[in-house]
Chain A
Amino acid sequence: MDYVKKLLGAEEIFDRPEPLKGVRVLEVCSVVLGPSATDYLAEFGAEVIKFEAKRGDQMRYVTPYAFFWKNLSPGLLEQNHNKYWVGMHLGHPKARELFYEFVKRSDVVVDNLTPGRLSKWGVSYDRLREINPKIIQLHVSGFGSWGPYTGRTSYDAIAQSEGGLAYITGFEGRGPLKSGVWIADWTTALMCAIAIVAALNYRERTGEGQYIDYSQVENVIRFLDWTWAYVDMTGENRERVGNRDLAICPSDLFDCKDGWIAIVAFTEEEFRGLCQAMGRMDLYEKYADPLERLKDENARLILKEIAEWTKGKTAREVEELADRYGFAASHVVDVEEAYYSEHLRERGAIMEYDDPLYGEFVEPCYPPRMETPSRLKWGARPIGFDNEFVLTKYLGLSMDEIEALYEEGVIYRWNPDVPPQCPPPDWDGKRGLKFP
């Protein structure tokens, strides 16, 4: 473990290489799904340039209990790190010309607008591949860019409901529930990032770019393990069964003295361990075979016995027994525990950084832990915050040219009357600016 810690531990993250160094990504995204896809790339070293419409990313206004920190919405921060922020709307003809210039110098273009919106603005794949044949363009939407449902607006919760996830989530005999987080957004974005890196791998082999169309509802469907084979084979629906697992037994969440404890033991050996810990070798003798345990009647009986047993135990006691006897047990970790977890900090799964604009933050840093690790450099920015830096560095524009673009309304900054677009109220006009 010391060897592994030396390779992957949090202390030397900034001394290690970035796998996506030199990969430039243009983001024309809003809300969670698109921006998180590029955030995954940005934390692994890609240079992500984010183009925002005049009102800005919708997440500037989405925040729990309407809470803002120095004008910043925590909902915007969560999927926007290490990015360069440009206020520019691609609907403007001159902005489009500038965007083409960026495309020449970039590797990836990502958008999650309504399918076809970009093509209306002249930024479709047939045009982009003329400008840069190696470009990889990804579009992600609820239902994809063609088909009967294309063009329908989708949100995370729609993907959860139309794709069948909400139906199978919930307690037995109670209503369907959505996830506590925007799970369809995050996991779809992850598969988008996978598609992009796969395309980068292919391009590295052949020099060829490509277009990727990805659908959020499909992604939810894909993640539902054995559901589809089961429904097709039996004609039955997959119903809600709370925390019980119909394909692994025992696997459930049990009440204990001081809260809840998740227990799982599927192999014969693990189940023997659990039965030993419980002092119930009679259960082991009867149900050693994992397939026997999965029969509904047996499963209910076994789970009931375990529930009786855990009532008299604390979560910690069960966890220690699990470690001793080789089955799995864990209490439910909440955000407070994760925040203070020595383990997660040691691993760099949670990282502290001092943002020049907003001060100290503590946030999760994307997995997995690698020798070419992810890292947090800075957080979200006001609209158009990096205009000058990006336009000079990548396009070589002069300050006069940039000034003219502001005057023509091609580029813009935050509206001072709309706080969620703005720098912190106490901003000194310099902190965090990369240029000038």
Chain B
Amino acid sequence: MEERTIVGMALDPQYARFIYNETNPDDVMRKPEAIDDMVVLDMSYGNYAGIFASSILAELGAEVIRIEPPEGDIARKMTPYGIMVKDAGLAYLTEGRNKLHITLNIETEEGREILKKLVKKADVLIESFRPGYMDSLGIGYKQLKEINPGLIYCAVNTYGQFGKDARERANQPDYDLTDQARGVVMSVTGEPELDPEVPQEYKKPLKHGNWMGWYAGGAWAAFGILLAMFYKRKTGKGQLIDAAPPEGMLAISNYLMQYFHLTKKKMVRAGNFDYAVFPYTYVRCKDGYTFMSGFTDPNWAALCEIMNRPDLQKQFPTIRERLTPENQPKIQHEIEKFTMNYTAAELLDIVTEYSRRPDKKGTVVTGRLNSPRDVLEVEHFKIKRMFVKLKDPHYGEVLVPNSTLRFMSRTPGRVKWVCRPIGADNEYIYGKYLGISGKKLEQLKEKGVV
């Protein structure tokens, strides 16, 4: 049993067992946390870039305090078809992990004074308001830095905090779709422009199905915060971080800009084709779709051998023939003639078997195109505890993806709790940091400050 579940198809079984012992999920909660000395104030509003950034920090042990306005963050309501579990939607439940939740009205003078006091105790502040908003309230980076020179202030907005577009578009909120639209990647994602079989109405840019603009943008923000924290540990200095999610997408847009710079030509939307590597595509199979590749010459030879189609290898012998937009649909069609006879699992068996042949010509890689429901059933993810179902005292049973940082041998990331209701930690946090509790807290509530 252990052999199969731990060692799988490992090249070096001993290594697999060793790493299993070093990163055993059973030990996670007993190990230390990487950054549990950090205090993070996340006051991002309606913004999953900010929220995902603080999720990463919270998984790594930081004390993340979400500061919401008294009526709650609108991000709580960003949920498919409006499905709510009490005061939180499904996206918010997914990213509420390990965070404390307080409310504070920064539009009141008293609220701002309280924020300043909290900032004194914090390492990081994350916000996603329109550029200049915090400044206008007297609590921008410039002012807060005076209070706490070690403060790392991370601002998230589509257009950033400076630059030509930021000047012209300062009144726009940050959203995933506009982040994706400005991130260049969307311009090349979608159905293939040059495939005559695609109806015209589908020949347009396409966003990633998920909030890729926000999640990538949030990960970049967290990266910047951790870099700044590392620098602060050495110098004591805080700093300003300007995290614009579209730049996070642009920065990972393959070779698009390099190619444009050198040729002044643009890549077009390729759909599942790829004009730098092919075949490297999703093909139809008996039970849906599967990935199939063989893009270098030896790997292509191997794929042709597996399909028993030496004629194809002759027809498209080098990358020069395989990388043209005209040939790729043709090659795709020929591959599907083969793959349509098998299920994705059968194809994986065929390819794996071939890969063990001593006289194999190259490497072919395949993998099923899973629906989300399929993913939840994959044994590998179950054994590795990719998902956790937590019984939350307030929200009931909720399934969320686990921390992907949980295989850090010394300081694994983890999910300790799911989420908290609006203002649930007011008493704890205001008491702990500012000594505000009991009657004083009641008064603030009455005045609409918390």
Contacts and interface: CB of A to CB of B under 8 A. Distances in A.
Interface stretch (B114-122, B380-388, B421-429, B436-444): B380-388
Contacts of A363: 257-258, 261
Contact of B34 (A155, A164, A199): A199
Nearest to B295: A62
Given A161-B369, A205-B37, A225 B223 contact: no
B407 A212 contact: yes
B370 A163 contact: yes
A357 B90 CA distance: 51
Given A264-B177, A295-B81, A181 B250 contact: no
B413 to A, nearest CB: 8
Across the A-B interface, give the 3 residue pairs with the lowest CB-CB distance, nearest first.
A168-B209, A116-B12, A180-B188
Contacts of B246: 333
A180 B269 contact: yes
Contact of A8 (B18, B162, B371): B162
A191 B372 contact: no
A133 to B, nearest CB: 11
A335 interface: yes
A347 B162 contact: yes
Contacts of B227: 19-20, 44, 197, 370, 372
A162 B222 contact: no
Nearest to A18: B231
Given A231-B372, A364-B253, A247 B78 contact: yes
B361 interface: no
B190 A177 contact: yes
Contacts of A1: 131-132, 161-162, 166-167
A190 B289 CA distance: 28
A228 B97 CA distance: 14
Nearest to B74: A267
Given A144-B407, A291-B77, A341-B164, 17 more contacts: A20-B230, A58-B296, A146-B20, A147-B6, A149-B8, A152-B9, A154-B367, A161-B291, A170-B209, A183-B185, A191-B56, A191-B219, A198-B411, A229-B398, A262-B177, A264-B173, A347-B242
Nearest to A296: B81
A262 B373 CA distance: 30
A193 B387 contact: no
A85 to B, nearest CB: 18
Contacts of B90: 226, 229-230, 233, 247
Interface string B345-381: 0000000000000000001011111111111101111
B280 interface: yes
Contact of B187 (A119, A205, A335): A335
A232 B172 contact: no
Interface string A193-223: 1110111111011001111111100110111
A350 B257 contact: yes
A398 interface: no
User: Main SS of chain B's interface residues?
Assistant: mixed
16 contacts: A1-B131, A62-B276, A178-B272, A190-B252, A193-B223, A198-B408, A202-B411, A225-B91, A226-B89, A238-B209, A264-B178, A266-B77, A328-B177, A342-B163, A344-B250, A367-B248
A329 interface: yes
A246 B80 contact: yes
Interface residues of B, number: 185
Interface string A232-251: 11100110101101111001
B150 to A, nearest CB: 13
A329 B178 CA distance: 7
A103 interface: no
B181 A253 contact: yes
A365 B258 CA distance: 12
Contacts of A5: 162-163
Contacts of B277: 62
A294 to B, nearest CB: 4
A369 interface: yes
Given A221-B401, A333-B184, A367-B243, A201 B226 contact: yes
Contacts of B210: 165, 168-169, 223-225, 227
A91 interface: no
B189 interface: yes
Contacts of A319: 169
A90 to B, nearest CB: 14
Contacts of B35: 198, 201-202
B288 to A, nearest CB: 9
A218 B408 CA distance: 14
